[in-house]
Amino acid sequence: MAIPRMVETVLNEYITLFNEHLPETIEGVYIHGSIALDAYVDDSSDIDFITITNRPLVEEDSTVLSYIHSTIAKIY
């Protein structure tokens, strides 16, 4: 199964932003939902994924996560 190019682009941008703002925290990013089921539809489906971190995130991290998600939403 190949990941659609747009999904790969968005996830790479997400990982880059995450690493810039919360360095050395990501353990893995796992896709699920329509992408994993090979049912993704361009311009219709959302991108479902789970990020695994190597430490519990604290309340202060929520501001950073909100920034990352809003930045991705503005770009894509």
- Domains in the chain: boundaries: 5-75
pLDDT for the residue numbered 1 = 73
Six token digits for residue 60: 């202060």
Q: What is the pLDDT of residue 60?
A: 93
Closest CA to 25 of 37, 14, 40: 14
Residue with structure tokens 């703002």?
Answer: 21
CB atoms within 10 A of CB 19: 12
* pLDDT score for 40: 94
Which residues, given as ranges, of the chain have pLDDT below 50?
Answer: none
First to last CA, the chain: 23
d(CA 53, CA 18): 11
**pLDDT on residue 52:** 98
